[in-house]
Structures are given as structure tokens and as C-alpha cells.
Amino acid sequence: MTPRIESVAWDCLMLRLFDAIDEANMPWLMAAAERLHSAFGAQLIDLVPSYTTLMLHYDGLLLSEAQARQGIANALIGLQPLAASETGQRHELPVWYHPSVGPDLAPLAQRAGCSTAQVIERHCSRDYPVFTLGFAPGFAYMGLVDPSIAAPRLVTPRQRVPRGSVGIAERQTAVYPLVSPGGWNLIGRCPLALFDRDREGYSLLKPGDSVRFVAIDQAEFERLGGDPSPMEADA
């Protein structure tokens, strides 16, 4: 790891720790985030983690770019990755895996040369770190799924993806927190609210958290408040 500091704006710097997406990046990124929060204190306006970087927005009236760069360099001295128990919360997200709410479940199984039950088993078989939030409020990019069930984004995105839809794109997986367009392969639906304006921090999932998907049946899905309405044919 050779950290690099890049200018983004007159009051914003990008700390680049890695060049490729990897689950092993997250303990380092979260450790760096803790150090930077502590080092900059009230001079820090925002700190945005992503797959390989941390974007640091500082108060340009209190710090020059040179001072901010030096502050980052000092904070990284002796940096060590956080233990798994220190990186964030672990969440279990229930999912009803079914073709009526996951229209790409069967095609993905065919692509992988396995049964739909095996796709579900593989999707539920590991904990996924939350890399970053983006695209829509509370949309958490997670990975990495088993290579056998990785699938490219749809050539033509759907115009309307229901809230709670669980999808796969390449080796990443995510849950759509709101109704929106989208081009991920949909394999099921989660009944939980991932984005809530009344929740502190709004988003249930945060970078550094981890997620384990748990398969449930339709009855449990509806008991938890899920909407079982099938996908629209022209969605």
C-alpha cells in the first residue's frame, strides 16, 4: 500500500490507498477514517469512504492545502488495519428469493450452470462488506459475490425497480432502498427499510458494515412488511 494524496477542490483532498477493489481494503480504509476524524476534529467538514479512497473535505478557512496534506500524512504514520469487530455493524438482511420479485433469478442460474436454489445458497453463504454508498440515498454497494453467480449489468436498465429489490452486478450485490431505475440482475426482495429520513444517519447500512443475506419464505416476507407485488412486465 502506497498512499497518494490528490487535489479534488480548493478545500477537498482525495486519499488513495489502493488501486483495485478488494474486501481486504475495508479494514485499512476504516482505520484511516478513524485517524483522520481524530486528527482534523472540527476542521473536518466531511469524510467520504469509497472502494479504494477517502475523500476529505476540510474547512478551507482554517487550513491551507499544504496543512491539510501534512495532517493526512501525519495521521497515517503507523497505520494498522482495524480488526473485523471494529469496522462496523454486522446486519442480517432477510430476502424472499422468488422469480415473481426476482425476475433474473432463473436466467442467472442458467448462466451459472446451476439451480436457483444453488444461486440462493451461494448468495447467502458469505458476509459482504459495505464498500460505499451512492447512486441513491442508502444504496450500499457490497461485495464480493461468489464468482460463479457474478453477472454483467442488464444491457437495457429497467425503468422501475421496486424498493427492496436485491440485485447482482458483476461481483457486487445491493438492495434498492427506493423505487428507481436500475440495471442490476434482480434475484429477490428484502422487506426492511434501508433508508429512513427519521433514522439517525438515514441509512441502515454504512461503509465498513457487513451484511449476511438470509433466505425467508413469502409468509415471513409479508409478516415483516414486505410488498409481494410481482415485477411489472414492462419494468
Local confidence pLDDT in tens for the 235 residues of the chain: 789 999 999 999 999 999 999 999 999 999 999 999 999 999 999 999 999 999 999 999 999 999 999 999 999 999 999 887 787 899 999 999 999 999 999 999 999 999 999 999 999 999 999 999 998 999 999 999 999 999 999 999 999 999 999 999 999 999 999 999 999 999 999 999 999 988 888 999 999 999 999 999 999 999 999 999 998 755 5
Domains delineated in the chain: 4-86 (3.30.1360.40), 90-223 (2.40.100.10)
- Please state, in angstroms and rounded to a whole number, the distance separating the CA atoms of residues 53 and 101: 35
Residue 93 in contact with residue 214, Cβ under 8 Å? yes
Residue 134 in contact with residue 51, Cβ under 8 Å? no
* Nearest one of 192, 182, 234, 186 to 216, comparing CA atoms: 192
Would you list the DSSP string of 115-180? -HHHHHHHHTSS-EEEEEE-SSTT-EEEE---GGG-BPPPSS-EEEE-TTEEEEEBTEEEE--SSE
| Bridge partner residues of 214 (DSSP) | 94
Residue 215 in grid coordinates: 433466505
Longest dimension (CA), the chain: 59
- Please state, in angstroms and rounded to a whole number, the distance separating the CA atoms of residues 158 and 184: 9
Residue 76 in contact with residue 3, Cβ under 8 Å? yes
